């Protein structure tokens, strides 16, 4: 009996004694369990991260937006149950949208459609073709009259012009005056049905990247259309040919925007978030490979032109009698090689051509002279030159011009002549 018991005990001990094979199998099982536990922990952490990410607001260009996932997934604690964080974010987004909507509501009734009638093509003599030409902005109401600004190219060549009001009524308009260089025109209509007048803002305070809204009458039958974008550049110089001879007659200083400007938007309003008109939409680059490049005439350029058109039917400007370009518009290589400027001269306006018999010609100015100041006021670009001439000077006034010729600084007195087709 004892013998058998001893054998049984020995067998039990052998069973309990781990063999190398058993040890290896046991280690594999533990490793598998650990990997499974680690993967499970990773998935749990990942799910937690996804939930946290879904609960966070998305940020685009500084504006915060809530998502549906945030409202569904974010755990709400006892302390913020009544006012979850995403509620504030959503409200902020709504406030931004409301600001734009309020600005549009403030000025939209002052933006009108412009329609013209003109003879042309194969039509019979005496017949007229009705065309949807563009847009306009009612900017002034005085007694029985209201005044509308639009583009010159919108009404150029028209026999008759009508204004389509926001209430869909059309009224006959009189062309008070037009200016081809700035592409602006003033119309007069009856003030009987005019309730809203647009307010001009200060275009000199604009910053690149700030919101901008275009309102107009694209395609001639979509009056009151609103498109939103930003100010892409506050100061672009665009060459303009007003005579159709493929020569630059004028350099327009304009605002660039990516707010959609389509055919028929010409003459409409570009506004800021305060509902003020900061520009009159004028042109766009219409190429298949180009998107979102439109231009508007700055309000601070528009206002003095409107005053002249109302008073004289045309713009009477003092002129040098030259065509010009800004140094910033040509490669710096030419500053020294072509214009012979000292290296410390980095701003100014160079003369492309001088009109025979003009004020500049009589003062002895020549091609490639670089103007840097007038009466002590620095002239950094074409905008500065025109701003001085149109806002500070008068026809017949004698001014002192500081300029560089062949590397040397010189001065000359010049008596300003009457406006022509030159850009300076």
Per the listing, tokens 């309020």 go with 102
By annotation, the residues acting in catalysis are 153, 183, 266
Residues 6+ apart with CB under 8 A from 92: 63, 64
Retrieve residue 229's tokens. Answer: 């974008």
- Cα 340 → chain centroid: 36
Q: Find how far residue 206's CA is from the centre of its chain.
A: 10
Q: Is 318 helix (H, G, I), strand (E, B) or coil?
A: coil
CA–CA dist 146, 196 (Å, integer): 10
How far apart, in whole angstroms, are the C-alpha atoms of residue 185 and residue 155?
A: 8
What's the rounded Cα separation, in Å, for the pair 217 and 222? Answer: 5
Q: What single string gives the DSSP state of each residue in 191-227?
A: STT------B--GGG--TT-EEEEEE-GGGT-TTEEE
For tokens 């005439």, name the residue: 297
* Rounded-to-integer distance, Cα 362 and Cα 321, Å: 10
Residue with tokens 């039509």: 123
């Amino acid at each position: 009996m004892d013998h058998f018991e001893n054998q049984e005990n020995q067998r039990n001990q052998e069973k309990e004694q781990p063999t190398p094979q058993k040890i290896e199998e046991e280690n594999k099982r533990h490793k598998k369990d650990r990997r499974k536990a680690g993967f499970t922990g990773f998935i749990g952490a990942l799910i937690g991260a996804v939930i946290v990410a879904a609960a966070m607001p998305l940020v685009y260009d500084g504006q915060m937006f809530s998502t549906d996932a945030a409202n569904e997934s974010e755990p709400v604690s006892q302390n913020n149950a009544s006012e979850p964080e995403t509620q504030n974010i959503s409200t902020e987004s709504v406030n931004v949208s409301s600001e734009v909507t309020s600005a549009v509501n403030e000025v939209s009734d002052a933006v009108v459609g412009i329609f013209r009638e003109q003879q042309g093509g194969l039509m019979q003599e005496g017949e007229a073709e009705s065309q949807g030409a563009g847009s306009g902005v009612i900017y002034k109401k005085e007694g029985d009259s209201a005044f509308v600004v639009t583009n010159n190219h919108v009404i150029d060549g028209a026999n008759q012009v009508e204004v389509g009001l926001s209430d869909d009524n059309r009224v006959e308009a009189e062309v008070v005056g037009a200016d081809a260089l700035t592409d602006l025109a003033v119309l007069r209509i009856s003030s009987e049905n005019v309730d809203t007048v647009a307010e001009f803002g200060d275009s000199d305070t604009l910053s690149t990247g700030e919101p901008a809204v275009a309102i107009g009458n694209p395609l001639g039958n979509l009056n009151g259309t609103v498109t939103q974008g930003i100010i892409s550049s506050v100061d672009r110089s665009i060459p303009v040919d007003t005579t159709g001879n493929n020569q630059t007659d004028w350099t327009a200083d304009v605002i660039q925007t990516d707010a959609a400007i389509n055919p028929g938007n010409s003459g409409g309003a570009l506004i800021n978030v305060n509902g003020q008109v900061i520009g009159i939409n004028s042109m766009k680059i219409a190429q298949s490979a180009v998107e979102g490049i439109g231009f508007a005439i700055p309000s601070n350029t528009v206002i003095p032109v409107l005053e002249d058109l109302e008073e004289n039917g045309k713009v009477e400007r003092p002129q040098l009698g030259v065509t010009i370009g800004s140094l910033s518009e040509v490669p710096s290589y030419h500053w020294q090689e072509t214009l012979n400027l000292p290296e410390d001269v980095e701003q100014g306006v160079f003369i492309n051509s001088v009109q025979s018999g003009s004020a500049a010609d009589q003062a002895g100015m020549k091609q490639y002279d670089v103007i840097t100041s007038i009466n002590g006021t620095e002239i950094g670009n074409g905008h500065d030159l025109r701003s001085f001439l149109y806002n500070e000077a008068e026809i017949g006034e004698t001014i002192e011009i500081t300029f560089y010729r062949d590397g040397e600084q010189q001065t000359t007195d010049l008596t300003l002549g009457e406006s022509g087709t030159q850009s300076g």
